[in-house]
Amino acid sequence: MNERALLAALAALTLLSLVFAPWAAINRETGARGTLLLLPNRTVDFTGRTEGVTVPGQGAVLAICALSLVAIAGGAALPERRRQALWLGAGLVLLTTTVVGLQGVSRATQGAQFAELVRSAQLELADPGRRVDAEALRAVLAEAEGLEVDELAEALRGAGLRIRSLPYEATSSGLAAALCFAVGGLALLLGLYRFSWARRALGRVGAAVAVPAASIALALVAAAVVILALQPTPTGGGVTVSGPVMYLAGRLDVLWYAYLSLFASSLGNAAGFMEALKFATPLIFTGLAVAFGFRAGLFNIGAPGQMVLGAIFAAVVGIYLPGPRPFVLPLAILAAAVGGGLWGALPGWLKARFGANEVINTILLNYIAASLLLFLLSSQQVFAAPVLRIFTAVGLFALALVALSLARPIRRRLGAAPRRSFAVLGVLLLLVMVFAGLPREGDAPVNLGLAFKAPGSEPKTHELSEAARLPRVPDLVGVPPGTFGAAVVPVNVALPLALAAVPFVFWLLGRARRLRWPQRLLLALGLGALFYALLAALGLSARPMTVPPSNLNVSFLIALGAAALMYVILWRTNWGFELRAVGLAPKAAEYGGANLPRNIVWTMALSGAFAGLTACHYVLGGALEDFALRQSLPTSDGFDGIAVALLGQNTPLGVVLAAFLFGVLKNGGSVLNITFPDLTRDVVNMVLALVVLFIAARGFLPERLTNPLRRAPGPAEPAATAAGVGASPTREPGVHAVAKEPLDPPGAPSRGGGA
């Protein structure tokens, strides 16, 4: 389906929604019961106690929106230049009309709120209760015309009038208005293709987001069937659904409000936004871990085990290493990366040396890591005496093997026939283990009594020292420790904005070929300082803000730094270019001089290091209730990282955005279950699974969006198309999302190296 057919179909669907779907909700009560407004001025009340509101001009809004949609749908049959001009104008008109129409609804509901408050006060004056100050109430009514709705409600409460909740509360747009926004915005973007500068920019963006955006949209459409099947239309007492229009409006409102609750809970307020970032932080680390492996043609499914080893290493350093924070905290972060990196390097070495499949090895290592964590945090670390002797014998055997390998003749002899040497050593080790494990007289269980675990039956370690703890966001902005609930504090908003502007300016200056990277860096820092001074002059250096309580910590910034590091390695260094070449064509890259065994080991090590850094969030950042390692470490984030990497197209920016989307959905799942009792978190899990499914089955998109060779201009394109270039199957499982991508994303250099 091309963009003309897609836009025409969406315009036709939106035209139908103007008749049958809610334009806005003028009241929303507990249990998602709503009073809906359909164009023009048709009210459907599912609460059973809300009066309708007449909104002026809704007939004109309906007419203009309908004409704009007809123009957009009909424009699909016009020649390119005329079609783009029509879409540009009609899209702009549709967006403007929708905004004006919703503003009219907002003004009308505020007027209805005001009138309802005045009516309640007048009824109370007719028979005032003991708590009501009649004189004060009359004074408020006399001055009511000059007050806003919130001010009037506060004044009435001060006079003793009991107002449990404001009428016409929680108004929102409806499905019809949302579709108008979507179609108008899409028509506007496609109309901008009329201009060459917009065509180039939108072409790059469209090629990058086409597969994820289409997958998300199709997943939401598929999940809509389940939502409608599980959740009936909420109604108030005495309300009976009668007639097809009321039934259809109720079902469409359930669908729209479910998705609105899912996303607005994280994007509509600061507390939800911070919770979404908290959920997204570990997913950024695990998504980067999987994506880094994918780029080199490897499938690292061992992120759960690498998370565990990174957490253990970080906890050991954070508990036992003394010293000040500038010394201990960086070492604890480094220990998390080293622990995950070593656990990832092991299957990499097995693959590079013996050809062992990394998927199987990483899965098995996940179980070993989980068992190790279970043992370290168990109430009694008890070994049977033969088992302890076996572990001791294995350790001595390993030390002896390392010592012998230092001798060059022995190392050469072992390396001449690695498989035979490995088999012989394995048999010897097995014999040593059997001999050491034979029962002996006087054997008794041995309790190691490791000091790693905190006293008590709860499976967790001792808490980390203060020097090894990452600060949380409320602490950074000056919220006093021990503050209960939200706090209003002056926040330096200018500083993060200025810091974010520096890399953006540095990237923009990269197009100036005459400037070397030190000059660009100095210029970017100078412009960032000027930008900070400007923001500070506007009062943003100490802006009062309400900061909600949250476990979001500095590990989010470390995750962003890890994403930047991955970008620098893969797209700004020669080795990164080599890794991406190995991922796409290993034999060709090896023929060109790439060292495949070395690349495999280092790729898996760095991939494991990214996964190990999740300890910054869960252990060093105190996201697991306190600053300690718990057995409840959510290693499922390691598997979610696979979906994040696929959705992010294995790019650092894509992984960050995909992780944030997953965080929004995970946080919204709890709100969805509260709003709709019949919809649980499983709906969110289903949406995420469907996203991955549609990404894997990307044949629903035209090949010119999924195959870069089909997008490439020039006379060679037909030949490449006819030859089927770029359509070969992938080498490794899990690399499907990157196998058809070019080596370099839009805007990146063709070879690694300096800026």
Q: Do the beta carbons of residue 476 and residue 496 sit within 8 Å?
A: no
472: nearest Cα among 557, 563, 561, 564 = 557
CB contact at 8 A, 490 and 540: no
Q: In degrees, to the nearest 5, what angle opens at C-alpha 269 toward C-alphas 266 and 273?
A: 40
CB pairs under 8 A, 24+ apart, for 144-147? 144/114, 144/118
- The neighbouring-strand residues paired with 27 are 35
* Res 379: pLDDT: 63
Strands (E), 568-687: none
Would strands 487-491 and 543-547 be described as parallel, antiparallel, or unpaired? antiparallel
DSSP state letters, 448-502: ---TTBPSSSS-BBPPPPGGGPPPBHHHHTTPPTT--S-EEEEE--HHHHHHHHH
CB-CB neighbours of 482 under 10 Å: 5
* φ/ψ (deg, to 5) at 92: -65, -40
Gap between the Cα atoms of 362 and 300, Å rounded = 7
- Listed in sequence order, the residues at least 6 apart from 550 whose beta carbon sits closer than 8 Å to its beta carbon are 271, 274, 275, 278, 472, 473, 474
Q: Provide the whole-model pTM.
A: 0.84
For residues 304 and 639, the answer to whether their CB atoms sit within 8 Å is yes
Instruction: Provide Rg for the chain, Cα atoms.
Output: 31
d(CA 383, CA 389): 10
Task: With beta carbons less than 8 A apart as the criterion, state whether 5 and 216 touch.
Answer: no
Task: With a cut of 50, list the residues of the chain below it in pLDDT.
Answer: 714-755
Helices and strands per DSSP (H, E), number in the chain: 29, 8
**pLDDT score for 703:** 62
Q: How is the beta sheet containing 172-173 ordered, strand by strand?
A: 42-45, 34-38, 24-28, 172-173
Tell me which residue of 687, 672, 643 sits closest to 220, measured CA to CA.
687
Q: What are the residues facing 544 on neighbouring strands?
A: 490
- CA-to-CA distance for 386 and 434, rounded, in angstroms? 10
DSSP letter at 544 equals E
List pLDDT tens digits, range 260-274.
988 988 888 888 899
Phi first, then psi: what are they for 35, rounded to 5°?
-110, 115
What is the phi/psi pair of residue 425, to 5°?
-65, -35
Contact indicator for 341, 348 with CB cutoff of 8 Å: no
Map residue 34 onto helix, strand or coil.
Answer: strand
